[in-house]
Amino acid sequence: MEISYHGHAVVKIKTNGTTILIDPFITGNPLTDLKAEEEKPDVILLTHGHNDHVGDTIALAKANNSQVVALNELAVYLQKQGVNAHPMGVGGAYQFPFGKVKYTLAFHGSTYETETEVVNAGNPGGILFFAEGLTIYHAGDTALFGDMKLIGDRNNIDVAFLPIGDNFTMGPEDAAYAVELLRPKTVVPIHYNTFPLIKQDPNEFAKLVKNSKVQILEPGQKVELP
């Protein structure tokens, strides 16, 4: 498996010949190294409906016949836009040919804005992804919450992607406490420095983490798997 980070909350996973993009906010993302017209994902996984996470999903899915996996209300909306979307619910899991996906709680909002309307995109979520014997946790946008301990107790997490930007999500202190609850082997900070309101020094976050390896990645860099 190959896992790489591409700015904001964008993560790419290559596994068993399948290319997966999580939250593909590419167009308008000042930190990403990706170009939307060059990406050819087989699968897109979405944590929630905010535009800085749905990003280029509709255009990418139509251009590449990608399968999109999202929580129910967002998936239904995307289906109405002509996208092949698989709906799921928080707490539910599904075994796809490319791996198993399970949605967790996340405490945040979830709307999708078009030029003419604000769409209710249902619940936000985090994603547990299981493939090749590894467990990847992408928390999406979330506050710190106590049931992260439950997620850590029930899953042997190899890599966790956690937001540290504050203002809209956890900041460094809460994210470091989340690491204690989740107990991942490796943690990668995400969702920071894209905009002025979420400016953070990831090295300050790293100093607060005690028992997990912290990998601070520049856009395009790969995770060193445990």
What residues have CB less than 8 Å from 155, skipping those under 6 apart?
128, 135, 137
Strand partners, 27: none
Question: What is this structure's pTM?
Answer: 0.97
- Residue 184 belongs to a domain: yes
Kindly report the CATH number assigned to the domain that includes residue 17.
3.60.15.10
Q: Residue 226's pLDDT is what?
A: 74
Separation CA 148–CA 177 (nearest Å): 10
Separation CA 173–CA 166 (nearest Å): 9
Closest CA to 91 of 113, 71, 75: 71
Separation CA 25–CA 8 (nearest Å): 8
- Residue 223 belongs to a domain: no
Residue 95 parent element (H or E) = strand 93-96
- Residue 222 belongs to a domain: no
Angle 178-111-76 (CA atoms, 0-180°, nearest 5)?
Answer: 105
- Residue 220 belongs to a domain: no
The domain tally of the chain equals: 1
Separation CA 13–CA 69 (nearest Å): 14
- Residue 190 belongs to a domain: yes
- Residue 60 belongs to a domain: yes
Closest CA to 48 of 105, 4, 99, 7: 105
Separation CA 102–CA 113 (nearest Å): 26
Separation CA 168–CA 79 (nearest Å): 28
Domain coverage including residue 51: 2-214
Find out whether 130 and 157 touch, Cβ atoms under 8 Å.
Answer: no
Separation CA 124–CA 163 (nearest Å): 14
Question: pLDDT below 70 — which residues of the chain?
Answer: none
- Residue 105 belongs to a domain: yes
- Residue 197 belongs to a domain: yes
Closest CA to 175 of 222, 129, 142, 224: 142
- Helices 57-64 and 72-80: crossing angle in degrees, nearest 10, is 60
